[in-house]
Amino acid sequence: MPPISHVPIPWSPPGPTTQTNSISQWLLEPHPTSLTLIVSSTLGILQASAKLNDLLRISGPELHNCPCCHLDATPAMVCRHRTLFRDLEPYSETLLMRLGDGEPQPVRVIGFPIIEPDGRILLAETIRPLGPLRQAPRLVGQSATFQRHLQELRQAAATEASVLLHGETGSGKELAAELLHQQSPRADGPFIVVDCTVLSEDLFESELFGHVKGAFTGATSHKTGLMELADKGTLFLDEIGELPLSQQPKLLRALETGTFRPVGATKTRRAKVRVISATHQDLPALIQRGAFRQDLYYRLAVLPIGIPALRERREDIPAMTEHILQQIAAERPRAYRLGKEAMRKLLGYSYPGNIRELRNLLQLATALSPEGEIPAEVIRIPTHAPAAAAPECGVKLTDSAATAGLGLSPIELAERQYILDLLREYHGSRRGLAERMGISERTLYRKLKRYALNVPNG
């Protein structure tokens, strides 16, 4: 967080900067992706940045003149905006706002006064979501392996048990944690991500339990800890293997008792959280080496769930590729198509960095394909990479006469060939094939129709 004492009071930009010569415009227009609110001295919302309007799925005028605390999920005793107009002191607070789909989102807000050229004093507030925005994650994967994994997640979501997600880097642990939360009875509560890689011994307590004003040098205001923010929701401890050994007993105590004491406070506080943690490390091996506490492990790993690596569900690569290309295209003025050779290259790689690595490969490939057609040469498979550990999934891309005129995309062609290969293995049994692909017979039927593959029932 930037030190707010660096914000001049009242604040004006250096020299004439915009055509409108309005400071609020100067704050909003060049930064459309920031979440910013402008509030008038009569305590009404004057404007919001494009990104905030987007997130709230409203047009700017609907927010105009709403009461200043309109977005707050829990009304504060004292309106921070009113206090700012009285004292002209910038503030920084952590609170819950209703963003996105209307679920409470923990955010850090920084407010400061600005003086418009016409002499009006306004308030600008920037909003930083803590943790990912509350939107149901879309998990791509139809393979039997991934469908079994989803089933495991859904079963775990219905319980209150602590879940430990373990899997290789980039395999989707954070997305799985979000899904667990969204499908749990706590879905209406907050989902708070704690990145344990940044929790040094100095920061651990104040980040997790919070601190009171004046607790230490630099504690200029009260800070609510992440554990309290997660009350009635889910606390997601990402990369738990990185938590310093010295801090592990403090975490264990807080989780076992549901109580903790903010730094400098005299009274303990209470929070009811469900804990999900994730790691790419072998925690039992860390325990053996004395780098992780066994008692904490047992507290966290009531339900251990492994996330399959992408190379263990190679059948999902075409759909995942399409999904990522659509996401990339949404931010650019063009759609992308993958050539057959390019898809063959993607299918033959082992992805030690999993889905994140696939995304990176595609980001680079699309950047190198200004016309939208992605050739094989721009798929830059790392040369040091290990060869695919599992045998190739057997997708052969053919321009068979049978597919001419079907208007299939390269990804669909790849899937068609994949189904053809499996049909041989399953001797044409539609039921066996659907089971193997982890899809319903009905979905398989639609695919067979689309791909002009005639297979008897059974």
Ligand X SMILES: Nc1ncnc2c1ncn2[C@@H]1O[C@H](COP(=O)(O)OP(=O)(O)OP(=O)(O)O)[C@@H](O)[C@H]1O
User: Which two three-digit tokens encode residue 303?
Assistant: 């339900």
Residue 248 contacts ligand X per CB under 6 A: no
Residue number, 125 or 174, with CB nearest to ligand X: 174
Cβ pair 222, 211 in contact under 8 A: yes
Residue 308 contacts ligand X per CB under 6 A: no
**Which of these ranges, 54-62, 164-172, 262-270, 418-426, lies near ligand X under the rule CB under 6 A?**
164-172
Residue number, 83 or 147, with CB nearest to ligand X: 147
**Site for ligand X, residues 263 to 282, rule: CB under 6 A:** 280
Q: What are phi and psi of 21, to 5 degrees?
A: 60, 25
**Which of these ranges, 11-19, 116-124, 135-143, 339-347, lies near ligand X under the rule CB under 6 A?**
135-143
Residue number, 112 or 349, with CB nearest to ligand X: 349
User: Starting from the edge strand earliest in sequence, which strands make up the sheet with 163-166, in order?
Assistant: 191-195, 234-238, 274-279, 163-166, 303-306
Residue 175 contacts ligand X per CB under 6 A: yes
Residue 170 contacts ligand X per CB under 6 A: yes
Q: Which residue is nearest to ligand X (CB)?
A: 172
Cβ pair 391, 430 in contact under 8 A: no
What's the closest the beta carbon of residue 155 comes to ligand X, in angstroms? 17
Neighbours of 332 (CB within 10 A): 11
**CA 21 vs CA 13, 17, 64: distances in Å:** 10, 7, 20
Give the residues across from 321 on adjacent strands.
none
Contacting ligand X (CB under 6 A), which of 355, 362, 397, 439? 355
Residue number, 72 or 174, with CB nearest to ligand X: 174
Cβ pair 419, 408 in contact under 8 A: no
Residue 133 contacts ligand X per CB under 6 A: no
Residue 169 contacts ligand X per CB under 6 A: yes
Question: What is the spatial distance between Cα 190 and Cα 168, in angstroms, rounded to a whole number?
Answer: 26
Helix axes 441-450, 430-437, angle to 10 degrees: 100
Q: How many residues bind ligand X (CB under 6 A)?
A: 16
What's the closest the beta carbon of residue 138 comes to ligand X, in angstroms? 6
**Site for ligand X, residues 378 to 417, rule: CB under 6 A:** none
Could you tell me where the beta strands, DSSP code E, fall in 81-161? 91-99, 103-115, 121-129
**Site for ligand X, residues 315 to 354, rule: CB under 6 A:** 323
What's the closest the beta carbon of residue 136 comes to ligand X, in angstroms? 12
Residue 293 contacts ligand X per CB under 6 A: no
Residue 174 contacts ligand X per CB under 6 A: yes
Cβ pair 129, 107 in contact under 8 A: yes
What's the closest the beta carbon of residue 378 comes to ligand X, in angstroms? 20
Q: How many CA atoms lie within 13 A of 37 on its CB side?
A: 26
Residue number, 85 or 191, with CB nearest to ligand X: 191
Question: What is the spatial distance between Cα 257 and Cα 170, in angstroms, rounded to a whole number?
Answer: 33
Residue 90 contacts ligand X per CB under 6 A: no
Contacting ligand X (CB under 6 A), which of 90, 106, 113, 167? 167
Helix axes 410-425, 340-347, angle to 10 degrees: 50
Question: What is the spatial distance between Cα 144 and Cα 215, in angstroms, rounded to a whole number?
Answer: 53
Cβ pair 304, 192 in contact under 8 A: no
Residue 172 contacts ligand X per CB under 6 A: yes
**Which of these ranges, 62-70, 111-119, 134-142, 336-344, lies near ligand X under the rule CB under 6 A?**
134-142
For ligand X, the binding residues (CB under 6 A) are 139-141, 167, 169-175, 280, 323, 355-356, 359
